[in-house]
Structure 1
Amino acid sequence: MKKWVILVFVAMLSLSACDVLQQASELQRLSLCEFELSGIHQLRLAGIALNNGSTRSGIPVGESITLAGAVFSRSLPLDFDLMVKVNNPNQGKASLNRMDYILSIDGKEVLSGNFQEKFMINGGSSAMMKIPVEMDLFKVLQNESGDALVNLAFNLVSGSGQPTEILLKVKPYIQVGSSQLPYPTYINLRRNL
């Protein structure tokens, strides 16, 4: 009976060790992946959808009134999806279970958070990761005028006016056993719009 218990215990340890080794090799593959900030999609300012090429003068009158009301009330919600392209040059799949991020716009840190979804990239392929972002521009950029904040939002989609630099710092994590292991440092992803 004791031999049977010992055999089952050894088998369980072996399976657990194999699983940990597999996840550790996924971490190594993840470290070789290339990350690129591809762009911003589905940007909404005060509930108004701004498409690529949108300008302040080009939005309908009703939306201009909505925008003016948001500026007057000093509540300017901005939400969009940051699109991060992940290229896996390895033979095997790479995955992450979580990713911490810090977003800066024109050198000002505006937001930090984490992406909590498991994300897998097959070997020899690329995949697009969508990171949803929500903020109130008046709260995160308190020293800016309403006009400057609206211009900033339009610059994110149109590229007109002053160039806008987006810096996204990301730190991926992988699940190994019951622990989450972080990538050693933040990865800086820059894009000028």
Structure 2
Amino acid sequence: MKQTVLILLLLIIPLSSCDVLNQVSGVIQLSQCDYKYNSISDIQLAGINLGNGSTISLSNFTTISSILTGGNLQTIPFSMTLNMDVTNPNRAAAFLNALEYVIEINEMEFTTGKIDVPLRVEPGQTAVLPISVGVDIKNLINRYSRNRVAREMSGFLGLSSDPTKVTVKLWPKLMVGNNLVKVPAPIPVEFTFGGNNR
């Protein structure tokens, strides 16, 4: 990631101002930060509030299982907030103007999106990066299969004993002139979530 950012720096130096160089420096610091899973909160599935997913009641279990099979529903809205810790071990601040992300669940592309809120992490500090996620499960069923989506989401929500590997890819953006430019290589983060033992 650092090498990619340095290549980007070399490409824009002829066009750059001091402000752009500061932003590139901030993105370089960001690429050297430590990223860890913090929590998942505000899980909503088809209008059912599941909180952080750790206390799904028996009455909700059957309803959720039925929803995940698709049934006759035209849409199956799912949303949550993924909170990630970003720790800056550097001597300079790490920051970005915006970012794009991809979230995969067991190598199934779950959702993509962007965050337009700036993030700044001071040297030696940790900041929480909240990623608001919204997806229509029905679209995933149409793209993959009913069985695969139900299996992966059941593990993710703790309805089965299988934990889920979650991969998050983050592409920071910086301002060049009046345009946001996406760094070519993502920052990858992996963690496991779900299963009956969480």
**Is the shorter-chain TM-score for this pair beyond 0.5, marking a shared fold?**
yes
Alignment CA distance shift 1:21-1:104 (3 Å):
closer
Which residue of structure 1 lines up, in the alignment, with residue 100 of structure 2? 100
Q: Is the 8 A contact 2:75 2:136 kept in 1?
A: yes
Which residue of structure 1 lines up, in the alignment, with residue 155 of structure 2? 155
Q: Is the 8 A contact 2:83 2:129 kept in 1?
A: yes
Q: Is the 8 A contact 2:172 2:182 kept in 1?
A: yes
Distance 1:68 1:167 in 2: 21
Distance 1:30 1:114 in 2: 17
Which residue of structure 2 lines up, in the alignment, with residue 79 of structure 1? 79
Distance 1:69 1:110 in 2: 16
Distance 1:37 1:75 in 2: 29
Identity of aligned residues (%): 25
Aligned residues: 176
Give the secondary structure class of the aligned counterpart of 2:113. strand
Distance 2:103 2:173 in 1: 18
Give the secondary structure class of the aligned counterpart of 1:72. coil
Q: Which runs of 5+ in 1 are unaligned?
A: 1-15
Q: Is the 8 A contact 1:42 1:81 kept in 2?
A: yes
Q: Give the RMSD, CA atoms, in angstroms.
A: 3.1
Alignment CA distance shift 1:31-1:107 (3 Å):
closer
Please state how far the C-alpha of 1:57 moved relative to its aligned partner: 2.5
Which residue of structure 2 lines up, in the alignment, with residue 124 of structure 1? 124
Alignment CA distance shift 1:30-1:159 (3 Å):
farther
Question: TM-score, normalised to structure 2's length?
Answer: 0.73
Q: Is the 8 A contact 1:55 1:154 kept in 2?
A: no
Please state how far the C-alpha of 1:49 moved relative to its aligned partner: 1.1
Give the secondary structure class of the aligned counterpart of 1:23. helix
Alignment CA distance shift 1:159-1:190 (3 Å):
farther
Which residue of structure 2 lines up, in the alignment, with residue 137 of structure 1? 137
Distance 1:42 1:96 in 2: 25
Q: Is the 8 A contact 1:79 1:133 kept in 2?
A: yes
Larger radius of gyration: 1
Distance 1:124 1:29 in 2: 11
Please state how far the C-alpha of 1:144 moved relative to its aligned partner: 3.1
Q: Is the 8 A contact 1:85 1:126 kept in 2?
A: yes
Please state how far the C-alpha of 1:114 moved relative to its aligned partner: 1.4
